[in-house]
Structure 1
């Protein structure tokens, strides 16, 4: 047991320092305008810690998305291999691994972000739990550890308490239950979003789909059962992390969906509508830029008297009209 404890300390000690440095950094900033010993300053510091960790894990998340997409796209080929080598499990496994290698797919890549977060999760758990017992880790001093361990939200809900050890404290139980439900719901919705929006029809009936369906219902149950033993501060970390995952996945699925999925069809429709709007706007801009036709008035053309033929002049009398006479009967 001592050997395993030494290994655990060897792994966790660097995490204690990294987490405590980020946590204390945020607390120093927030403590300048919030109560340094209040629960709000420490909870917001935990939220800041979560955002920093998730931002650092973005490359792994991108790798996870690419791997998941490749897994979806090669499902028809996996089915063909199952039909061809279903009687020979060893050959099926070899051909399947060869297919994964040729397509650059890692079936375990989807677990990397969760696996890498688990040590951080347990390190934060230990920091809060030990701080409540006036024990320090990382760069936490005795004073900061006491402040962290005794911090209370709303002046009466310690962030180091759990649902199980609430000792009848209604506020702790209500807040812990709310965060457990939020953590469970965000986990379920994230998996559901992936299956309903970014999985092609061929992948919904294969072994990969069965794995996803299992995770869809098993992971929320695991988090719900374990969540009642987590301190409230840790529940804030995990819920914030789930919200980040859900938002990040929504952005990726919306802007870069896998071909043949409902999300891909929706993106094509949005692109077509955008092109139509852009085309209409371009026509309107051209019409506005075109010069207006001038409406200058020109002088009316002078009407010339019609020429009469000799026959027309004869029919009208053939003579010029008589000039008017003066009073003396003389012509003017």
Structure 2
């Protein structure tokens, strides 16, 4: 247990300092422009600022996630072919599938990378706000004064440290917490549904990758809904804001750079056509591929049919020639 605790501290301690530094910086900024640093509004705005900072730093990983997801969609027909060919040999199937991933530049784990990186950040923020700031003892760059400020912070009379399960009988706390949990769950579901319905080709909607996406579509919202009732309201603001960022970012990418052969691509082509018509320009028409010239094969020389012996007699042999007339006329 001590060894695991040391590993956890080794991973989480740098995150405590990084997250608290960003949170305190946003809090200082809002105080500098004249807002009351002890108000719940400033703490909520600071948490939203922290969310935007974290998500902006993760944009390169999100781009890799989009590329990997797109490649996974496009190679699904080839994956199905491999499954038909090597379905009886699991080891060979795994080898050929990894070879296909390598040749197409696809990393099946890249699609989960942003979520995997966000989880430690989320846990670090949860620990900072729930176990330290809410109890009034500082941690990292959150001093004791800042921790006590957060401990007493309220937004419209609702303590930011409160949870749905720890509402102390306050109906207002339970309602706000429930609204934020529903918003967090709905944005998670909508984001995943948006990806599957608009940016996945028809032939990629079946198979193991599609089944994985469908599983995430329903499992993740349930996980967040169950766990969300134990999160402080301040943490719910972070997660809901992060989901809204993801939904908007994904909407922008799907709209402007859709995957080939998807409903999003058809919608983009139609928008481009209408835009070209409004500006009096001919719409860009995708040129049809020219038919490949047929390979000219040398004509085969017809072989003469073999004749039977009776046929050769009737025709005078294979090469009949006129009989020479006898010399001296008729006898």
TM-score range, shorter chain: 0.7 to 0.9
Partner Cα distance (1:114, 1:172) in 2: 28
1:7 Cα deviation after fit:
1.6
Residues 109-161 of structure 1: per-residue CA shift (max 9 Å, x gap): 1111111011110111111111111221111111111102221111x211111
In structure 1, what is the Cα distance between the partners aligned to 2:180 and 2:92? Answer: 47
Of 136, 139, 142, which aligns to 1:140? 142
Q: TM-score if structure 2 supplies the norm length?
A: 0.83
In structure 1, the partner of 2:276 is 275
The equivalent of 1:7 in structure 2 is 7
Q: Which residue of 2 aligns with 1:27?
A: 27
Counterpart in the other structure of 1:207:
208
Distance 1:91 1:39, change over 3 A: same
* Distance in 1 (alpha carbons) for counterparts of 2:124 and 2:57: 17
**Cα deviation 1:162-211 (Å, max 9, x = unaligned):** 11111211111111100000000000000000000000000011111111
Deviation for aligned residue 1:21: 1.1
Q: C-alpha distance in 2, partners of 1:20/1:54? A: 16
Query: C-alpha separation between the residues in 2 aligned to 1:280 and 1:101?
Result: 42
Task: Write the mapping of 1:1-332 to structure 2, written as runs, cut at 5 A.
Answer: 1-32=1-32, 33-129=34-130, 130-154=132-156, 156-279=157-280
1-structure distance, mates of 2:174, 2:121: 25
Instruction: Work out which of the two has the higher radius of gyration on C-alpha atoms and give 1 or 2.
Output: 1
Offset, 1:280 = 5.8
| Aligned equivalents of 2:7, 2:139: Cα separation in 1 | 17
For residues 141 and 280 of structure 1, the distance between their equivalents in structure 2, rounded to whole angstroms, comes to 62
User: Partners in 2 of 1:165 and 1:152 — Cα distance?
Assistant: 15
Shift of 1:13: 1.2
1:166 match: secondary structure:
coil
The 3-state SS of whatever aligns with 2:220 is helix
- Any idea what SS the aligned residue of 1:137 has? coil
What's the C-alpha RMSD, in Å, of the aligned pairs?
A: 1.1
2:261 counterpart SS class: coil
CA distance in 2, matches of 1:191, 1:80: 27
Instruction: For 1:212 and 1:227, locate their aligned partners in 2 and report how far apart those are by CA, in whole Å.
Output: 22
Measure how far apart 1:38 and its partner are.
Answer: 0.9
1:84 to 1:280, Cα distance in 2 relative to 1, 3 A: closer
Gaps of 5+ in 2: 283-331
Shift of 1:17: 1.0
* Partners of 1:15 and 1:36 in 2: CA distance: 23
Cα distance in 2 for partners of 1:132, 1:251 equals: 37
Shift in Å, 1:34: 2.1
